[in-house]
Amino acid sequence: MSGLPGNPGPSLAAIFDSMSLGEQLALVPHLLGETSADWLAGVLRKYGHEVSATTIRTYRRALRQEASV
């Protein structure tokens, strides 16, 4: 993968860049889909990636705004 769409911000970008291709491919549908931000943040923390649910929600909101322009 070449990166996440839009501007994921430093936390999400660093997490994504630190993952293997397989991990990235597994993350993207959850990050861009309807998976609960709280659940996703918890799973990422469980595997050593510190990110808040608010960061995930903010990223998703920015993507939606970009898509509607």
Entry pTM = 0.91
Give the C-alpha separation, 36 to 38, whole Å.
Answer: 5
Provide the residue ranges of all domains of the chain, joining segments of one domain with +: 9-68
What are 9-50's pLDDT values in tens digits? 999 999 999 999 999 999 999 999 999 999 999 999 999 999
The DSSP secondary-structure symbol of 35 reads S
* CB contact burial 48-64 (16+ within 10 A = b; e otherwise): ebebeeebbeebbeebe
* pLDDT for the residue numbered 69: 77
SS3 state of residue 6:
coil
